[in-house]
Amino acid sequence: MHFGFTKLVVHDLEAAVAFYSAAFGLVEDYRVASQIAGRAIDQVAFEATGPDGNVLVLLRYADTTGPVTGEVIVGFQVADIDAVCARVVAAGGVLHSEPQTMRRYGVATAFLTDPEGHMIELVQQI
């Protein structure tokens, strides 16, 4: 058994797909229109970003007006934290903390939100 994917519930599926594609270079893999526990859903799965990598799936419930934010932090490991912060902001995200070096842990981190307010953490090995 292994962990395979995270589903992030969003309100505007197309805008969220555009944001994660522009900010992180994620590539759409497939779309599904189905039901979960009797609730209609639409979802978009992105390709894994590496061999045996986990997958991010964006999901929209047809019967809700918006997701609850703050329940999930989506994490990305990056090679250039400053460049990715700039791409996230250019794609419509908000920077909440400048990259901070945590030498004890050998990383730099930054926290941002996507256009719907979902928290994103960037981590760069230093």
pLDDT at 66: 72
- CATH (domain of 56): 3.10.180.10
pLDDT at 125: 94
pLDDT at 20: 98
pLDDT at 126: 93
pLDDT at 1: 57
pLDDT at 10: 94
> pTM of the full predicted structure?
0.88
Look up the domain containing 80 and give its range: 5-125
Give the containing element (helix H, strand E) for 87. Answer: helix 81-90
pLDDT at 3: 74
pLDDT at 51: 86
As for how many domains the chain has, the answer is 1
Cβ burial of 80 (10 Å; 0-12, 13-18, 19+) is exposed
Q: For each of the chain's 126 residues, which pLDDT tens digit applies?
A: 567 789 999 999 999 999 999 999 999 999 999 998 899 999 999 999 988 888 999 999 999 877 677 678 899 999 999 999 999 999 999 999 899 999 999 999 999 999 999 999 999 999
**Among 15, 21, 79, 80, which Cα is nearest to 47's?**
21
